[in-house]
Amino acid sequence: MKYTLLTMYVFFVASSAMRQAFLNASCTTTQVDTSFDFDASEYKVCGFCYLNPTTNRSELAAIAFLSEETATVFRAAFNLFKQMCSQPPSIFIVDKDFTEIAVLREVFIGATLLLCTFHVIKYIKNLIAILL
């Protein structure tokens, strides 16, 4: 695995096949999503997904195991992802994690950040519930 880095904060994995498929896709949009309570050691898992136009399927470009969801850790993971990109994505689909959003804006300057559909719908349902 060419892009593997182990630090006290991040274990970043992207195999040669994952990287090559991502680069061949020339995609401009990447979804970043982080799950927590992944296992007993409490690592967080951050996935970098894109739509492969050849297969018309969502695929993982890379995966990062995070020790915690802090700006320092996100910065390390996002910089590692940026290093594997020949042309960084110009659009990111994200969830509502404000730390993640702030660091994405810092690392990928000028990129457009869009809130994922699930979180938009959840927000609208909450607004409707409050108004009713």
User: What is the domain-level CATH number for residue 35?
Assistant: 3.30.420
| 89 or 8, which is more confident | 89
Question: Coil, strand or helix: which one is 64?
Answer: strand
Provide the domain count of the chain. 1
Find the domain containing 62 and state its range: 3-131
Rounded distance between C-alpha atoms, residue 53 and residue 49, angstroms: 13
Q: What are phi and psi of 100, to 5 degrees?
A: -60, -45
Helix, strand, coil percentages in the chain from 3-state DSSP, rounded to 5: 35, 35, 30
Provide, rounded to the nearest whole percent, the portion of the chain with pLDDT above 70: 92
**What's the whole-model pTM score?**
0.83
